[in-house]
Structure 1
Amino acid sequence: MDGAVAPSKGPDRIAFYMLRFLTRLCDGVGVALMAAILLLIVAAVVARDALGLGMPWTEEVASMLAIYAIGFGSLSAWVRSEHLVVDLFSHKLSRLGKNLQYRLTALISCGFFVLAAWGAWIMSDMSANNKTVSLSISFSYLYYGIFFCFAGMAVIAFWQTLRGRVAWLEVAREDEVVQP
């Protein structure tokens, strides 16, 4: 996404900058969360081994931070089309066939993401009274991270279904492919 050239005008230009901002924000937050996890684990080890202090709450916080880091990373990867894809025959399709396949895949993905977000929302409601042992944090906060991840990917997949393939994302991906 960073190597792509922005469209000259229109709604695609707005979408380009919005998606670029979203990926940079998600990447920044994800990296900050991973750094916080690392610092938290190092602090727990140092406190336990060097100072003889127990910090049992660090496991709960690290788990929550990891869920949110994965959510932000997944959202960023979805925008960049960097999730694992098995591509067996789309290179043999016509331009119309590729466009239809892209939209159908985005629509199916959107349905899956909506279903997963709905499940996370239901689980957050069901586990509102369940709390962690050390800090008494509601498990709902864990499910909110999953909900926001899938809801964000559902919105982007819906946009991909309506918009279809965009040239500014394809150019960046084609540059990465190494031809033998």
Structure 2
Amino acid sequence: MSLSSTPPNTSTPIEDPSVYLDDPNRKSLEIDTDTHQGPALFRWLTLGMEYLIGAILVALIVSVSSNVVGRALFNHSLPWADELARMLFIWLVFIGAAAAFSRYEHIAVDALVRRLPLRLAHMLYLLQHLIITGLMMVMIWGGYQVLERSSGRSAIMNVPLSFISLSLVLCVIFIAAVSIWRMWVSLNVIRHPEGER
């Protein structure tokens, strides 16, 4: 009885991760700046938001770092740095949420919808975006109320508080517009599924 020096081949093939990342039923709803898919306005706005996110991140890092260096080396903090960092972070969150929505990068459980036939999947997408649009309309109304009533200014930098709330309103208007466009696309797929294959 001899022992073999090579173990038996028990490895299983590694599955391609794009199977879990790409939903073929959702392709017509995606906005992709590289392949020029989706309305040009949404593509340009998405690219603009992504560049703005980069600029805000740099400004946020500079603001926070300058305050840390000021405290550590000079024993003097910059009072405006914390306030600026807070404002930049609020804008970063809302612009990031809109850009991620545009690129379909929010977390979603799509195990069911990717296995459905095209027409049925788009019925669910239509329902999903109808709910999203309804929620965004409520947030637009609430954001408008906040903008209308915020007459104060920030304590140190004297920035109007309505400027901070504007980030919410712009974010939800963009998400609502993209949702309405996606509902229109889903309606067309539901009516003519053979044209979308």
Q: Counterparts in 2 of 1:5-154, with a 5 A limit?
A: 5-6=35-36, 15=39, 17-129=40-152, 131-154=153-176
Note the alpha carbon deviations across 1:30-69, whole angstroms, 9 max, x for none: 0110110000111112222222333111111111111111
With the length of structure 1 as denominator, give the TM-score of the two structures. 0.78
Larger radius of gyration: 2
The one-letter amino acid of 1:87's match is D
Q: Tell me if the contact between 1:30 and 1:72 (Cα under 8 Å) persists in the aligned partners.
A: yes
CA distance in 2, matches of 1:166, 1:21: 24
Aligned length: 158
Higher relative contact order, structure no. (Cα contacts within 8 Å, ≥ 6 residues apart) = 1
Q: What is the deviation of 1:137? A: 2.3
CA distance in 1, matches of 2:63, 2:168: 22
Residue 54 of structure 1 aligns to a residue whose secondary structure is: coil
Q: What is the deviation of 1:96? A: 1.2
Q: Tell me if the contact between 1:31 and 1:69 (Cα under 8 Å) persists in the aligned partners.
A: no
CA distance in 1, matches of 2:188, 2:170: 25
Q: What is the RMSD of the two structures over their aligned residues, measured on CA atoms? A: 2.2
Q: Tell me if the contact between 1:102 and 1:165 (Cα under 8 Å) persists in the aligned partners.
A: no
Residue 164 of structure 1 aligns to a residue whose secondary structure is: helix
Q: Tell me if the contact between 2:33 and 2:47 (Cα under 8 Å) persists in the aligned partners.
A: no
1:161 alignment partner, one of 183, 189, 192: 183
Moved more, 134-143 or 55-64: 134-143
Residue 157 of structure 1 aligns to a residue whose secondary structure is: helix
The one-letter amino acid of 1:102's match is Y
Q: Tell me if the contact between 1:120 and 1:146 (Cα under 8 Å) persists in the aligned partners.
A: yes
Percent same amino acid among aligned pairs? 22
Q: What is the deviation of 1:95? A: 1.6
With the length of structure 2 as denominator, give the TM-score of the two structures. 0.72
Structure 2 gaps of 5+ residues are 1-31, 190-197
Check 1:36–1:166 CA distance in 2 against 1; reply closer, same or farther (3 A cut): farther
Moved more, 29-38 or 44-53: 44-53
Structure 1 gaps of 5+ residues are 168-180
